[in-house]
Amino acid sequence: ETGVTQTPRHLVMGMTNKKSLKCEQHLGHNAMYWYKQSAKKPLELMFVYNFKEQTENNSVPSRFSPECPNSSHLFLHLHTLQPEDSALYLCASSQWTARYNEQFFGPGTRLTVL
């Protein structure tokens, strides 16, 4: 099993749909992250979870709702999205310490909002 897996890999949804993205890490890490990567823009951090607790919300609109039921799983619930939300959504995990934080990324979910 690869380190960080994401499903689905591709998703097309309408603006009124509700869908969820799933991320699972098999590395025994204590932190998980959601990032957004839009075309021709840098990777943007959306949310950080440490030991299942959300510690960072980078001013993300409420139509994105994260959920972290345990240290290995992370979800991103999507509701009433806009076409500009179309992007690659990447999950990452890390074994966070005070000195070191290499983040391992999943393959991403490519989302298209019609």
Partner 1 sequence: RKEVEQDPGPFNVPEGATVAFNCTYSNSASQSFFWYRQDCRKEPKLLMSVYSSGNEDGRFTAQLNRASQYISLLIRDSKLSDSATYLCVVSLIQGAQKLVFGQGTRLTINP
Q: Indicate which single residue of 54, 101, 112, 114 sits in contact with partner 1 (rule: CB under 8 A).
A: 101
What's the CA gap between 5 and 8, in Å, rounded?
Answer: 9
Binders in 28-87 for partner 1, by CB under 8 A: 31, 33, 40-45, 48, 50, 55-56, 58
Q: Cβ distance 21 to 109 under 8 Å? A: yes
Question: In angstroms, what is the minimal distance from the CB of 112 to partner 1?
Answer: 15
Number of residues that bind partner 1 (CB under 8 A): 29
* Angle made by CA atoms 80, 55, 21, in degrees to the nearest 5: 35
Binding site for partner 1 (CB under 8 A): 4, 31, 33, 40-45, 48, 50, 55-56, 58, 90, 94, 96-108
